[in-house]
Amino acid sequence: MEPFKLTQETLDEIRSLIGAQNTAALQEFFNDFHYADIAEIANELQLEEALFLIRTLDSERTGDVLTELDEDLREEILSELSPVEIASELAELDTDDAADIITELPSELAQEVISEIEDREHAAEIIELLRYDENSAGGLMAKELIKVNENWTVTTCVREMRAQAEYVTRVHSIYVVDNENILKGRLSLKDLLISPNNAHIKDVYIPKVDYVSVNEDPEEVAKIMAKYDLEAIPVVDEMKRLVGRITIDDIVDVIKEEADKDYQQMAGITQDVYADDSILDLTRARLPWLIVGLIGGLGAAFIMGTFESIISEHAILFFFTPLIAAMAGNVGVQSSAIIVQGIANDDIKGSIGARLSKELFLSLLNGLILAVLLFLSTWLWKGELLTASAVSLSLIAVIIIAGLIGTFIPLFLNKRGIDPAVATGPFITTSNDIFGILIYFWIAKLILGL
């Protein structure tokens, strides 16, 4: 079928069914719906309506719906549900999704919910996952996977796999462990099928298997899975014991969130916000860099203030300060963006010195072209050869310095183990504004002999 598109008519129809509390018709209507589509609809409803819908549909599907809801709505709905109701939703979820929802609950409620989960093994696995840092492979993995012991025979293995497969939506790989649960390798279904029933797994498994540690950074896991085109990767603890599995759908989310974060950082937004967030949340995300920008602007104003004595004779120098600041900012952002992206893709090889000298030539080339344009415009406008030269030569210097700063800072931060993306956008723009204007006046004064 074609992908679902939510129309106003559909939404109105659902609302009137909810308004009429027509449980049977709602269940009938949503019978064939994917949970992601139900979540999309619920996100458009009022809290009361969404709550009625969640309670009407069976928890086999609403558990998944919960994981796909907007965070705010999910929080509100969870606060209206009883611990028993939440527990019955979680019972239907994979351990990683259940753990993510529990993390969002107030700690007392979380305890209650966990104690209400009927399947105690499922509960124990969720509790184990809660131990791991959200921002690690452990925080990303699920306990659901298929594993077999190297000492089993093929017959035992097939029987055990059948039992395990009931709880695992997508098999992907069969992992092989020893008696201590240490990851030894993987098993090909084909090899399993052509082996005699009494053969031991240790004689047929493939010892070559990629894995990551529970403490690995999610971004690193994403890189590894993308590089090797993996759809699932086993996760091991410090003793190399198999503790979980990460699947590609979670990695797709990691890649998107990471990209969103870098994009927002570049735009000077300091925390994860969405267009639909409250004005207060949006202000909290936007104001910090604006204040930094304001301080930068004040700095630029003070610098210009120190050159006030030349303003009546060389007013034109002051007219070009927004241009100089803008060029310094743009060049800095371009250089830093290319370096940040190169670092993210592991493309940056060679020394910092080599990078800087490349950027030097690059900025010199760009600066020369732009300086010629600026020279001609200024000359045509004011007819003063010396001023036009001063302004354009300063522009070259500013562009070179801005390019070098934009290149150096992310490289430096990365060497220090700090995410270089923090140094893009307004950070580079603001620092380059100040440096740019300082250099500009200094060189212009020199040339004009002031």
Q: Which of residues 12-51 bind a second copy (CB under 8 A)?
A: 32, 34, 36, 44
For a second copy, give the closer residue by CB, 101 or 325.
325
How many angstroms separate the Cα of 172 from the Cα of each of 82, 138, 169?
36, 19, 9
Q: Which of residues 214-233 bind a second copy (CB under 8 A)?
A: 224-229, 231
Q: Is residue 308 at the binding interface for a second copy, with CB under 8 A as the rule?
A: yes
Inter-residue contact 52 to 83 (CB < 8 Å)? no
For a second copy, which stretch binds (CB under 8 A), given 78-86, 141-149, 173-181, 324-332?
324-332
Strand partners, 175: 147, 186
Order of strands across the sheet that contains 212-213? 212-213, 232-236, 242-247
Q: Is residue 104 at the binding interface for a second copy, with CB under 8 A as the rule?
A: no
Query: What is the C-alpha separation between 448 and 450, in angstroms, rounded?
Result: 6
Q: Which of residues 156-175 bind a second copy (CB under 8 A)?
A: 170
Q: Is residue 120 at the binding interface for a second copy, with CB under 8 A as the rule?
A: no
Binder of a second copy out of 155, 188, 263, 415 (CB under 8 A): 263
Q: Is residue 394 at the binding interface for a second copy, with CB under 8 A as the rule?
A: no
For a second copy, which stretch binds (CB under 8 A), given 100-108, 114-122, 145-153, 301-309?
301-309
Q: How many residues bind a second copy (CB under 8 A)?
A: 107
Q: Is residue 373 at the binding interface for a second copy, with CB under 8 A as the rule?
A: yes
Which amino acid is present at 114?
A: I
For a second copy, give the closer residue by CB, 84 or 287.
287
Q: Is residue 433 at the binding interface for a second copy, with CB under 8 A as the rule?
A: yes
What's the closest the beta carbon of residue 231 comes to a second copy, in angstroms?
A: 6
According to DSSP, the β-strands at 174-177 and 183-187 are antiparallel
Q: Is residue 370 at the binding interface for a second copy, with CB under 8 A as the rule?
A: yes
Query: What is the C-alpha separation between 433 and 294, in angstroms, rounded?
Result: 11
Binder of a second copy out of 149, 297, 379, 438 (CB under 8 A): 297
Order of strands across the sheet that contains 174-177? 146-149, 174-177, 183-187
Query: What is the C-alpha separation between 98 and 91, in angstroms, rounded?
Result: 8
For a second copy, which stretch binds (CB under 8 A), given 22-30, 46-54, 127-135, 290-298?
290-298
What's the closest the beta carbon of residue 196 comes to a second copy, in angstroms?
A: 21
Binder of a second copy out of 16, 249, 412, 446 (CB under 8 A): 249
Residue 450: burial class (beta carbons within 10 Å; 0-12, 13-18, 19+) = middle
Q: Is residue 274 at the binding interface for a second copy, with CB under 8 A as the rule?
A: yes
Query: What is the C-alpha separation between 27 and 158, in angstroms, rounded?
Result: 38
Q: Which of 282, 293, 322 is nearest to 425 (CA)?
A: 293
Helix (H, G, I), strand (E, B) or coil at 186: strand
Q: Which of residues 326-365 bind a second copy (CB under 8 A)?
A: 326-327, 329-331, 333-334, 336-339, 341-342, 345, 347-349, 355, 358, 361-362, 365
